[in-house]
Structure 1
């Protein structure tokens, strides 16, 4: 078949021009032979599979960490020296950490697979002039696809026929209401305004139609989203960035210190095997082996708390990331709003009525003048409500066992059913005939038993078909076009969608409608919108109090976005997708920083917005529920998907899923995230002095030429008992009361500030002086080497116990109050004392860890070091508070 080249995209061309360009027939479609040839040339209508690492590669990558490399080398050296117990303990720690990481990552990269699965369905296409059911994978460009209500659209189609056709495109464009389709050619139009196109992955909600396939697989609009998801980089979280930076610094310091001490010892004539043992002890002592375990446990406890607050975390570091969030970019539909059209105002009989209640639950009242009104006492109101109920194809249903209400049908029609139910109206009269709504008619009409006709549609069309209006008392009066139009404009100024309703009397014996119907009596207006969630305004205010910017990004029109933004506290100018397209990359970050509401935004622009904010060093939390949100969800520092109404693609692209789809749950998640970060910092500030102190003790011993005060296996005992037993209470430490009144943490700040670094070094110096000093004191007063080393182990354990109470608050004293508010602190303290008594006095521990029993005097000296450490740290905290107040 000869083809002609058509300039411009398909939506700007007529159906005949598109058919000629595709080399097909708009009525008969392709032949089977031609379709098979095109399928062989261009491939199936599927999205390409993403290359993924296998399980072995994912497991091996868990060892790709500088600290792990040092531990592995230490295990090899320890094995070569014959210390198999030490080597086994080191390897056990490494492997356990790798298993935890592997399990976390197992479900982390399924977004592309979920996206590809969305496009696979069975469809009806015309082949050889006859309709045929075939898998959507077999569709090719030029195929003629037939559509009807309930169908998932299998490819991008240029519509050639549309009979009352409406398509739900919310998952792709963010448009909250189904879009009426037409086959007419258009001028330049954004994706959401291409009324003659039907896109892959969207749904037909009403009517019938047919379209020619213009793009398949990766060439579709959903294929573009697929590519964007693939190109969006998986951003490291602030915690992982800081831990990685900390790991690199610690690794370099450990290697340099170990090499220096080994070289000094050998140069002084010490045996090489002995110095290798010392170097391994130094490396193992300086590396915080317990850090990965306690970090994971702390995050896991945060995850558990967030589940109770309606948030499910798919990647553990996301818990902390929320705590450092500086900007939340949120979708409107279904996130800040309910995604349930609701009638809020009615104009009938010359009066205005307010309708309370939201969503599809038929609970609410009709008010006028501040009081409740009964529809039966207002004939015009009752008829307006009955017209909305009767001229309607939707229904609302309630789930079993007291479940929530849901809609079957068009959301706009569902809102009319609910408003009638709130007035106590029962079933509509039996329907005999229907004139269905179409974009050309702009109205729908139904004929009912008894000879009554009800109609609903656009204001202009219903007014043109009416010659009278229903008065308040039920009689008729002249049509007040200007007054009705003024009320409609007032509703429109509130971003409410307005439907006009009317009725007419017909022959009681009639059983069908003629088009157009008889002249109508105008009944009134019903105004509706997608209401904001009740908690949204409060949650937005709480986020802004916490120093977090909130930005609404939606595919809806600017007027709707502005009205919703005003209701939830996001005022100011609205920036549209066209404005974004006209803004240069260099100017975009500043423009985005100043703007809180964005409307008519495409998936590429959402991604561009997130990147612009990240360019200004913001930590971005992006919420969303649709396919169009997936690339931005993946690009953001943390993606938050809606669990109830969100698509699987959005959920798989996100780090966290909200089970109640409520923006207010993000406030709770931010609060939990900040608490988790606080607890992690407390733990690190508490744990690091032991590692630094151990390293300093060993360096001092090597440089001094004496015996090692502590052996590698004893170091591991401390790291995997004292650190874990006392570190676990930090995982369940309650949040500080002022946590949501603080500004977000500066992402540029290090994990540990200078003030906290000074405190860590102070405690490390106390440990060095206490442990090294008592080691020599004990030996000088007749203690054996094993007893002296046992004293050193207990100095570290008991000083860490005392220092634990310093770290329950990094600013204020919290001794007994800390035990009262967190019972695990007391339990951990008792457990550590029991463990150290077991270590010191049980014979089997003497054999395994070379410990020895201690005298009461030795215990007293150990307790004195711990008490001095506690007092000095509290003194330092007091001095810091005094300096900050000055």
Structure 2
């Protein structure tokens, strides 16, 4: 229903109500029909079970569960217990993280909860806002929260702060005039207000027209209740798990059938196939990815970024679009006077002031002090007062000398307001408003002076400033009838003040760094097109002629196909509503982009929730936006996003190194098991050896990779393509050839031990496999640079992990109690030396590969 198009009488007729309000009986009937004026979470009944199920529905986890069950039936239960323990620990961490995150709707409910003054049975009573129904008549005064969507019946200098809902930084003057346009943005419906916003000044009465989930806030609540986006890492890990499972299944079937056809025992081949599956599945991967993300999240807190959803940490590494709100995100959300133009001949008034312009800025406003002594009021008037205070014009002191004795409130037709003050020289009238309106009533007759004023005002307006003019007149006495026609005629123009919500410090540099990193910043705001364009040009969001700016009304006229053609070219969206913000994010995602959305208002919550990564402001952000977001900027500084992106890329790179490490090791285990029968060798590994390698040898050094420093120039690289798999960028080839080399070295040592050793072939093969992986993890600490260039001691956590792993492996080799558990034997000094020497081959081979691929080429190019 377009309530803003109807007159007050038409609204009353539609609602079957009147200015005296409803009876208690009628209100009760409507309460049953429309329900309580509350926000409802359709998912809350199943929320806990849904979160719990999500922890076990991941494809990789399902494969691990199946492997654990089969392993339990076919061999030792210890394998099953270890695997299931890892699964449940991982699920617990994920459950706690997600459960804490599911609070967006609760914050909306908290924000919307209030008391309301309503006419019932022709009496003004105070009730809980949840009991309001369409047709109720409520009264509002300064400081009141708007309890429902309302249509005003009367207003008296009433202004509403709608910034949290619309993104509009200026408080909105409300009126009762019906508006004829159908597709007005929320911020342009000046005869209405909406649930969750609040009155900053004035008073009024209004009809309640929508309640509960039918309000604009309710529409946002519905949008927030949509399912979470799957992160890039989750997508890649799911794809990785499926691909790996198919490969494992194919290899296991091949090994089983080939052995059976050779006449091997069915049970032996079944055990061999299960061992192969256990070797191939990276049991520690889910838990260690979770731990790596948690460690990354802890580091980001030091950069003033609080991570609420762990998988969001790595998402920053893939983001190639950042859709950012303007108000409170790129700007400080505080109007500031940037320029004051004074007409020199007018600013001195003998006997009253030698700078009447500054005096007018201090006196002509409704700003007041609260109980704490702080100035409060509408943002524009606060900016004028603060400027006057910096020039030693104190409102409190001036009002003692020049008390206000009357006023004419602002209205949209006159576009100005006037205050009348008692002075020793007479009654001083100060008028404040649109410059063009004041010029029409001023005494200025010099056309060139008027033209100059108008040009300056137009230039400032086009640059995104809000310009207010000031004029005065001196009356001998207070007129009996105070009318605009008399009081605001024959004014003397004083000048004007230009205000703007200024950009945050360092934002321009942060946007430049985003572009250098291959990330496109897009401004999405509830502000007017002119203001948004000016700010975007100043910050460098708009640089080229092809960069488009469109308004919400223009966006509404585009069909999906037309919008899809434009969406990647649009750099600024102005005057958009919450659903359109969500539409923008979804359109960019449909083109294969990974999208980050920043914001601080309720109106940003749906887009924050549905973006690949939502980033809320921690200081000025609403609780709703914080709970809907994946991460929060604790300092509200857009430039912190750049630091977060760098850390996100670093974390994602380290996760890929971790996957490369464990999958290469698992590849080596597979090659050992697959090739051994064809080379006439026994299987060199027992199931407990495989689990030890996968959990300890993989786990400890793998976890230390999370602390690895970022690669040089990481912020000059383009974002990783969304379509790239985990195996992209030479990783798949690396896993195959290094794994094959590990397998061949291990089998060679086994063959030597069988021929020349003392029955220690199993221990030597097991140890070579372990130590080879330790050499491998040292070599892959950097994708391009040599270990000797980055420094052995640059990651002390890695040194500790490798030292501890070596110590544990030595205990398995030389402690009799552990020999029985792991079926190992003590090695002689010669056997140990040969084992260590053979293991170093892997480190040297990977270092040589990096030198040929990167170091040598970089030297030739330089």
8 A Cα contact 2:548 2:569, kept in partner: no
- Tell me, in whole angstroms, the C-alpha distance in 1 between the residues paired with 2:306 and 2:692: 35
Partner of 2:233: 239
- Tell me, in whole angstroms, the C-alpha distance in 2 between the residues paired with 1:113 and 1:160: 32
> What secondary structure sits across from 2:338 in the alignment?
strand
> What secondary structure sits across from 1:153 in the alignment?
coil
Partner of 2:584: 609
> What secondary structure sits across from 1:345 in the alignment?
strand
Give the CA deviation at 1:730: 1.1
- Structure 2 matches for 1:246-261, cutoff 5 A? 246-261=240-255
- Report Cα offsets for 1:627-673 as digits up to 9, x if no partner: 21111112211111111111222111111111122211111111111
Partner of 1:415: 383
2:202 paired residue among 185, 201, 207? 207
* Residue 435 (1) aligns with residue 411 (2): no
- Report Cα offsets for 1:113-137 as digits up to 9, x if no partner: 3223332221111111111111111
Partner of 2:593: 618
8 A Cα contact 2:343 2:493, kept in partner: no
Tell me: CA distance 1:65–1:17, structure 2 relative to 1, closer, same or farther (3 Å).
closer
1:577 paired residue among 545, 552, 555? 552
- Report Cα offsets for 1:294-334 as digits up to 9, x if no partner: 32222222212211111111111111111111111111111
Tell me: CA distance 1:522–1:479, structure 2 relative to 1, closer, same or farther (3 Å).
farther
- Tell me, in whole angstroms, the C-alpha distance in 2 between the residues paired with 1:30 and 1:816: 80
Partner of 2:524: 553
Partner of 2:366: 393
2:221 paired residue among 218, 223, 226? 226
Report the TM-score, using the length of structure 2 for normalisation: 0.92
Give the CA deviation at 1:16: 0.5
* Residue 457 (1) aligns with residue 457 (2): no
Give the CA deviation at 1:542: 0.7
Report the TM-score, using the length of structure 1 for normalisation: 0.89
* Residue 535 (1) aligns with residue 530 (2): no
* Residue 743 (1) aligns with residue 718 (2): yes
Q: Structure 1: which 5+ residue stretches go unaligned?
A: 1-7, 354-374, 401-405, 470-476
Partner of 2:535: 564
- Structure 2 matches for 1:680-829, cutoff 5 A? 680-701=655-676, 707-753=682-728, 755-784=730-759, 787-815=760-788, 817-829=790-802
- Tell me, in whole angstroms, the C-alpha distance in 1 between the residues paired with 2:453 and 2:275: 87
- Structure 2 matches for 1:502-521, cutoff 5 A? 502-505=471-474, 514-516=482-484, 517=487, 520-521=491-492
8 A Cα contact 1:818 1:825, kept in partner: no
* Residue 135 (1) aligns with residue 128 (2): yes
Q: How many residues align?
A: 840
Tell me: CA distance 1:455–1:548, structure 2 relative to 1, closer, same or farther (3 Å).
same
Tell me: CA distance 1:76–1:597, structure 2 relative to 1, closer, same or farther (3 Å).
closer
Partner of 2:60: 67
Q: Structure 2: which 5+ residue stretches go unaligned?
A: none
- Tell me, in whole angstroms, the C-alpha distance in 1 between the residues paired with 2:443 and 2:58: 80
- Tell me, in whole angstroms, the C-alpha distance in 1 between the residues paired with 2:481 and 2:331: 39
8 A Cα contact 1:147 1:209, kept in partner: yes
* Residue 485 (1) aligns with residue 477 (2): no
- Structure 2 matches for 1:285-364, cutoff 5 A? 285-350=279-344
1:125 paired residue among 118, 130, 134? 118
- Tell me, in whole angstroms, the C-alpha distance in 1 between the residues paired with 2:733 and 2:548: 47
8 A Cα contact 1:432 1:448, kept in partner: yes
Give the CA deviation at 1:689: 1.2
Moved more, 143-152 or 520-529: 520-529
Give the CA deviation at 1:842: 1.7
Tell me: CA distance 1:85–1:511, structure 2 relative to 1, closer, same or farther (3 Å).
farther
Give the CA deviation at 1:504: 4.3
- Tell me, in whole angstroms, the C-alpha distance in 1 between the residues paired with 2:733 and 2:75: 39
- Tell me, in whole angstroms, the C-alpha distance in 1 between the residues paired with 2:53 and 2:228: 19
> What secondary structure sits across from 1:106 in the alignment?
helix
Tell me: CA distance 1:101–1:17, structure 2 relative to 1, closer, same or farther (3 Å).
same
Moved more, 111-120 or 34-43: 111-120
8 A Cα contact 2:600 2:617, kept in partner: yes
- Report Cα offsets for 1:193-226 as digits up to 9, x if no partner: 1111111121111111111111111222222222
Tell me: CA distance 1:783–1:398, structure 2 relative to 1, closer, same or farther (3 Å).
farther
Give the CA deviation at 1:513: 9.8
8 A Cα contact 2:276 2:673, kept in partner: yes
Tell me: CA distance 1:853–1:151, structure 2 relative to 1, closer, same or farther (3 Å).
same
Moved more, 217-226 or 139-148: 217-226
Give the CA deviation at 1:799: 0.9
- Report Cα offsets for 1:431-477 as digits up to 9, x if no partner: 343415322552131425656634423324444554479xxxxxxx9
> What secondary structure sits across from 2:698 in the alignment?
helix
Partner of 2:170: 177
8 A Cα contact 1:462 1:500, kept in partner: yes
> What secondary structure sits across from 2:560 in the alignment?
coil
* Residue 193 (1) aligns with residue 188 (2): yes
* Residue 21 (1) aligns with residue 14 (2): yes
* Residue 498 (1) aligns with residue 467 (2): yes
Give the CA deviation at 1:107: 2.2
8 A Cα contact 1:447 1:511, kept in partner: no
Partner of 2:615: 640
Tell me: CA distance 1:18–1:659, structure 2 relative to 1, closer, same or farther (3 Å).
same
Give the CA deviation at 1:491: 2.3
Partner of 1:106: 99
Moved more, 267-276 or 322-331: 267-276
Give the CA deviation at 1:94: 1.9
Moved more, 100-109 or 424-433: 424-433
Moved more, 574-583 or 808-817: 808-817
Moved more, 254-263 or 664-673: 254-263
Give the CA deviation at 1:270: 4.1
